[in-house]
Chains A and B, each alone.
Chain A
Amino acid sequence: MLGRMIRTSPFHKRTSALNETGLWEHWSNALAATRYQMSEKFEYFAIRNAAGLFDSSPLYKYRIAGPEAERFLAGVLIRDIRQCEPGHAQYTAWCDDRGFVVEDGVVLRLTSDEFLLTAAEPNLAYFDGLIGRLDVTIEDVSDAWGVLAVQGPRSRDILATLTAVVTDLPYFGLARTTIAQVPILVSRTGFTGDLGFELWVPANAALKVWDAVWAASRGQGVIPFGLTALYMARIEAGLVLLDVDFHSSRFAWTDADRTTPIELGLGWMVRGIETDDREFIGRDAIRRELAGRTSRWKLSGLVVDWREYDRIYDEAGLIPPKDHTPVQDEYYIYDDDLNQLGYATSQMYSPMLQRHIALARVPLDRAAPGSRVKLEMAVNHRYEYFDAYVARMPLFNPERRTA
């Protein structure tokens, strides 16, 4: 025995039985379904029109506890954790002292001095190194929890048949409850930009919760969805992804691969920073960036001009493709004289918006909605320049998400 088995999620027994494609990706060295059936687009429509189930278990999870846990997080995370009362969650990020983003994640405040923080990559050494003399413990509890995301317009009604707490749970609310007699946490969070919840389940009882959710959702168009459908939903929702739309400043070689929260469109996290007396890592640099207007670009939503898109393909003798497959790669953007302005980091054809869309780093003077740029894409093995304009983020933002 070499002991080199890939890890699996606490839900794997169920997800592996449902994955008809045999396609898996490695996420945090655990198996995560690319898609469960031959059409990831149908999985995407389940998210947007019914509800989809997504296994988020491979996320790293840290339990941060102790009398000074709040003080610790207030000094480490860029969003003010003191504004997050027990029974609430926050989408947040942490920066280095130069004001560059290290990573982002969701923090759940379980009690006044106990928190659960998610991250896409290991961060234990980073946080440990910042504790100093504070009375705080940080523990990697990644394997102790399974996380089941239930996302889509029907998610609330379906979960309400299992636990009443979801009915009035506000956006980013958090509650303790039980499903199938298993004590769990439920948060009104997710990575799809839709109405949705995440169930935080003890790993050893994960299957009981899955089975209860599965049974409650039969006959209602609810199916599991894989990473491809997740990426489609998150691009539409303007939710940034590590190593796609940004990189950790810890491991970047140059500042070209670093980004500030302002540049990444997360400026709202530090609203009031000019007058706030809270000290946190990166604060001074972010203040200087805001005061000096030194942001290099802003992550913006782009919408491709459909008429020009069709015309360019028609003239090339091709049928204009409307491919929903998320392309999480760099595509350059230009001004009319073909001087490079920036670059797109994610793009796709959005079936909901009926347009080709992208998330792109554009200079500040082009970041206002309606600003025009040209997006470079290859057609018939040569570059063409497609008219696109900046649109307000998130590009897809249904009322039900927060209602």
Chain B
Amino acid sequence: MPKDKKAEESKTAAADRKGTRRQRDSKTDRTYDAIVIGGGHNGLTNGAYLAKAGLRTLVLERRHLVGGAAITEELRPGFWFTTFSYALSLLRPDIVQDLDLVKHGFMPILMPTTFCPMEDGDYLLMGQDHAENQQAIARHSRHDADAYDAFNHDVNKVLQAIKPLLDQAPPDIWSDDPEELIALANLGSRFKRLDKKVLHDAVRLLTGSAADFLDDYFESDILKGYLASTSIIGTKVGPYSQGSGLVLLYHILGEHDGEFGAWSFHKGGNGGFTQVLARAAQAFGVDIRLESPVDHVITRNGRATGVALTDGTEFQAPIVVSALDPRRTFLELVEPRELPTDLVDTIERFRFQGTSAKVNFALDAPPRYPALGDRTDQYRGFTNIGPSMEYLERAYDDAKYGWYSKRPYLDCAVQSMVDPDMAPPGKAVMSCFVQYAPYHLRGSDWDSEKEGLGDTVQATLESFFPGFGDLVLQREIRTPLDIERTVGLSEGNIFAGEFLAPQMWFFRPAPGYSQYATPIDGYYQCGSGTHPGGCVMGAPGKLAAQRILKDRSKGATRH
């Protein structure tokens, strides 16, 4: 696969070169029906839907490869790193079907285990067998064995109720448009039909802390640590913070083959996935142009007419879509002076404050966990270094005062155990998501602290996997600053804006601007800074395309 991937990448590049040549041939070839700025997964999804609907669509990508934060790179011969984003769950299943992704190589591989090491050398190992999982939990708490079933049942009911919101644009509660009022009424009646307990659980999760919710069910620290870990991902909250419930809920809203909360590893990593997406987009006719950083959106009389690259090249289109985050979409690609003041104010206040990093390892072999001897099959999914809610909260304490965690939370995956094409035979690649690593460091900066973070992560791993350091062939550290510089996500926030109630749903990215349009006619937004938000979900790209096509059919966007 890595070979194929390379071939595919060069194919993408070749297709791009072809496109470029054609564009040079005549001036009219720089005119499109739609231009998407940013070739991340949402930009590609958006472009693919627009092209599928018959629009001549151009996707402009700043870097030498598409994928945005979902890329896979061979940083050492034979070792493929999921540099940033590293697993799939929230990707909307209808996108897979609508865009024929299976035909282009879509392949989400089951991760059958979750391994949770403990500080005393014990562990919790969860797998695919329900009865075995009950036994695994019972070893730590007999009470929690069936409490886990009760928790899943209650939470799944909430997920079932909330999930449809991921697949529709947020309501515009300020609009008098009859269509909006009908949509709002439908939404209201659906909530009215909800079971009292389900609605109450939903509100507890959406507004409260993960710790409060989990304490209602469980007594085991390791089980709570495992479950609470998803309540902090990518967000500057601890499990005891109000608001962590929302992050937990969000992360289990995804699915793998219909199972809520399950994650998969795409063949070739999330970069393998975005290559699939690029092939699908090209099959629908999208032109992808690499190494084409956009300087600004060209506007005339309050409407978008095209984009200008940093080298001055201009492309014309009556529809311009930004897949970048809200700060770049509203404050950099266009002049704030063209926008209403309240919108500019909200976007300036929009919280990014990235708080996570990546440290990826090339290893001589999968690590060993003493209690499991020479076994390595526990690494077929995530390895969760977050053995208790207290561990997670203490990691957060460091971040509160402007420093990275001395004992960070780590979400690790030895990805070559799931997809052996990620590393040479017997060797391993291990992706570690690290939290907390706040973008703003007190009294220092990330260029100075980068290796210190790497050392901290490695020391943490060494404490759980003695001898880990001897296995390390190479280490790749990606601080929030690296994420910002490389991918363009402001302050390195992996969701293109934090998951906080005032930044979600019809407030994302700003009240009144959550339906993918902007105050500039013909200028749209489709990035993770719009509803429903980040993770490799594709929903913003898809929902924005639906909005654009609807406007177009109404004639709102004239040619």
Taking Cβ atoms with an 8 Å cutoff, the residues of A that contact B are 37-39, 41-42, 45, 48-50, 154, 218-221, 306-307, 319-324, 349, 351-355
CB contacts under 8 Å to A, within B70-123, are 93-94, 96-97, 101-102, 106-110, 112
B107 engages A154 (CB within 8 Å) = no
Contact B420 A319 (CB under 8 A): no
Interchain CA distance A4-B420 in the complex, whole Å: 43
B419 interfacial contact with A, CB 8 Å: yes
Q: A49-B419, A319-B160, A324-B257 are in contact. List 12 more A-B contacts (CB 8 A).
A: A37-B112, A38-B128, A42-B110, A42-B128, A48-B107, A49-B109, A50-B420, A219-B420, A322-B258, A351-B257, A354-B96, A354-B257
Instruction: Give min CB distance, B423 to chain A, whole Å.
Output: 9
Contact: A42 with B112, CB < 8 Å?
yes
| 8 cross-chain pairs, A with B, having the tightest CB-CB distances, nearest first | A219-B426, A322-B258, A221-B420, A39-B128, A38-B129, A39-B112, A322-B257, A42-B112
Decide yes or no whether B132 CB sits under 8 A from chain A.
Answer: yes
Which residues in B have their C-beta under 8 angstroms from that of A49?
A: 107, 109, 267, 419-421
Contacts of B399-421 to chain A: CB distance below 8 A: 416-421
Which of B267, B418, B420 has the most chain A CB within a 10 Å cutoff?
A: B420
Inter-chain contacts of B97 with A (CB < 8 A): 306-307, 354
Kindly report which residue of chain A lies nearest to residue B426, judged by CB atoms.
Answer: A219
List of B residues within 8 angstroms of A39 by Cβ: 110, 112, 127-129
**Cross-chain contact of B112 among A41, A219, A306, A349 (Cβ < 8 A):** A41
Chain A residues with Cβ under 8 A from B106's Cβ?
A: 354
CB-defined contacts of B427 to chain A, threshold 8 Å: 219
Which residues of B pack against A, CB within 8 Å? 93-94, 96-97, 101-102, 106-110, 112, 127-129, 132, 156, 160, 257-260, 267, 377, 380, 416-421, 425-427
B112 nearest CB across to chain A (Å): 4
Question: Could you tell me the distance in whole angstroms from the C-beta of B471 to the nearest C-beta in chain A?
Answer: 14
Within the complex, which residue of A37, A220, A307, A320 is in contact with B258, where a contact is CB–CB below 8 Å? Answer: A320
Closest chain A residue, CB of each to CB of B380 = A42
Contacts of A349 in B (CB 8 A): 257-258
- Given the complex of chains A and B, what is the CA–CA distance between A90 and B101 in angstroms? 34
- Complex-state Cα separation, A37 to B418, whole angstroms: 15
Give me 30 A-to-B residue pairs in the complex whose CB atoms sit less than 8 angstroms apart, sorted by A's number: A37-B112, A37-B377, A38-B127, A38-B128, A38-B129, A38-B132, A39-B128, A41-B110, A41-B112, A42-B112, A42-B380, A45-B109, A49-B421, A219-B420, A220-B420, A220-B426, A221-B416, A221-B417, A221-B420, A307-B94, A319-B156, A322-B257, A322-B258, A322-B259, A352-B102, A352-B107, A353-B102, A354-B96, A354-B101, A354-B257
- Would A154 and B420 count as touching, CB distance under 8 A? yes
Decide: A38 near B112, CB < 8 A? Known: A50-B420, A319-B260.
yes
* Distance in angstroms between the alpha carbons of A37 and B267 in the assembled complex: 22
Q: Is A219's CB under 8 angstroms from B425's CB?
A: yes
Measured between alpha carbons, how far is A253 from B326 in the docked complex, in Å? Answer: 71
B425-A220 in contact (CB<8A): yes
Q: Which residues on the A side are within 8 Å of B258 (C-beta)?
A: 319-323, 349
| Residue from A45, A323, A355 in contact with B110 in the complex, judged by beta carbons closer than 8 Å | A45
Residues from chain A with Cβ under 8 Å of B260 in the complex? 319
Q: Of residues B93, B156, B425, B426, which shows the largest number of chain A Cβ atoms within 10 Å of its Cβ?
A: B425
Residue of A nearest to B133 (CB): A38
The residue among A38, A48, A322 with the most chain B CB atoms within 10 A of its own CB is A38
Residues of B within 8 A of A352 (CB): 102, 107
A320 to B257, CA, bound (A): 10
CB distance from B549 to the nearest CB of A (A): 18
What's the minimum C-beta distance from A305 to chain B, rounded to whole angstroms? 10
| Min C-beta distance of A233 to chain B, whole Å | 14
Nearest chain B CB to A88 CB, angstrom units:
30
**Which chain B residues lie closer than 8 Å to A319 at the CB level?**
156, 160, 258, 260
Minimum CB distance partner of A157 in chain B: B425
Residues of chain A contacted by B109 (CB below 8 angstroms)? 45, 49
Q: What are the residues of chain A within 8 A of B426 when measuring CB–CB?
A: 218-220
Minimum CB–CB distance for B93 against chain A, Å: 7
- Is there an interface contact between B102 and A41, defined as CB atoms closer than 8 Å? no
Inter-chain CA distance A154–B424, complex, in Å, is 13
B102 contact set on A, CB distance < 8 A: 352-355
Closest to B106 in A: A354
Closest CB of chain A to B11's CB: distance in Å?
16
In the bound complex, CA of A7 to CA of B107 (Å):
39
State whether A351 touches B377 (Cβ < 8 A). no
A318 nearest CB neighbor, chain B only: B160
A321→B132 CA distance, assembly (Å):
21
Q: Measured between alpha carbons, how far is A354 from B380 in the docked complex, in Å?
A: 21
- Whole-angstrom distance between the Cβ of A76 and the nearest chain B Cβ: 41
Q: In the complex, how many angstroms separate the beta carbon of B8 from the nearest chain A beta carbon?
A: 15
Tell me the bound Cα distance from A286 to B380 in angstroms.
51
Bound: A45/B265 CA distance, A: 11
Complex CA distance for A320 and B425, rounded to whole angstroms: 38
The interface centre, meaning the residue of A41, A49, A321, A349 with most chain B CB atoms within 10 A of its CB, is A49
- Shortest Cβ distance from B130 into A: residue: A38
Chain A residues with Cβ under 8 A from B94's Cβ? 307
Smallest distance from the beta carbon of A236 to chain B beta carbons, Å? 12
In the complex, how many angstroms separate the beta carbon of A327 from the nearest chain B beta carbon? Answer: 15
Contacts of A218 in B (CB 8 A): 425-426
Q: Name the B residues within 8 Å of A154 (CB-CB).
A: 420
Give complex CA distance A352, B267 in Å.
11
Task: Report A-chain residues with C-beta under 8 Å of the C-beta of B418.
Answer: 221
Residues of A within 8 A of B259 (CB): 322
Max chain B Cβ within 10 angstroms of own Cβ: one of A37, A48, A306? A37
Closest to B164 in A: A314
| Complex-state Cα separation, A354 to B109, whole angstroms | 11
A45 and chain B: residue at smallest CB distance: B109
A349 to nearest B CB, angstroms?
7
CB distance from A324 to the nearest CB of B (A): 7
A153 to chain B, nearest CB (A): 9
Interface centre among B97, B109, B417 (most CB of A within 10 A): B109
Closest to B163 in A: A319
Q: How far is the CB of A169 from chain B (nearest CB, A)?
A: 22
A353 to B417, CA, bound (A): 23
B93, B108, B258, most chain A CB atoms within 10 A: B258
Tell me the bound Cα distance from A218 to B424 in angstroms.
11
Task: Give complex CA distance A39, B259 in Å.
Answer: 14
Q: How far is the CA of A349 from the CA of B420 in the complex (A)?
A: 24
CB distance from B164 to the nearest CB of A (A): 8
Report the bound CA distance from A323 to B416 in whole Å. 26
Q: How far is the CA of A399 from the CA of B178 in the complex (A)?
A: 52
Residues of B near A42 (CB, < 8 A) are 110, 112, 128, 380
A306 to B426, CA, bound (A): 39
> Closest approach, in angstroms, between the C-beta of B253 and any C-beta of chain A?
12
Output the least CB separation between B157 and chain A (Å).
10
* Docked complex Cα distance between A41 and B93 (Å): 19
A345 CB, nearest partner CB in chain B, Å: 23
Complex Cα gap A48–B258 (Å): 20
Whole-angstrom distance from the CB of A262 to the nearest CB of chain B?
Answer: 30
Alpha-carbon distance A264/B230, docked complex (angstroms): 50
Residues of chain B lying within 8 A (CB to CB) of residue A41: 110, 112, 128
B114 to chain A, nearest CB (A): 12
CA distance A353 to B103 in the complex (A): 9
The CA-CA distance from A48 to B128 in the complex, in Å, is 19
What is the bound-complex CA distance between A321 and B97, given in angstroms? 17
When chains A and B are docked, how far (Å) is the Cα of A39 from the Cα of B132? Answer: 11
Smallest distance from the beta carbon of A352 to chain B beta carbons, Å? 7
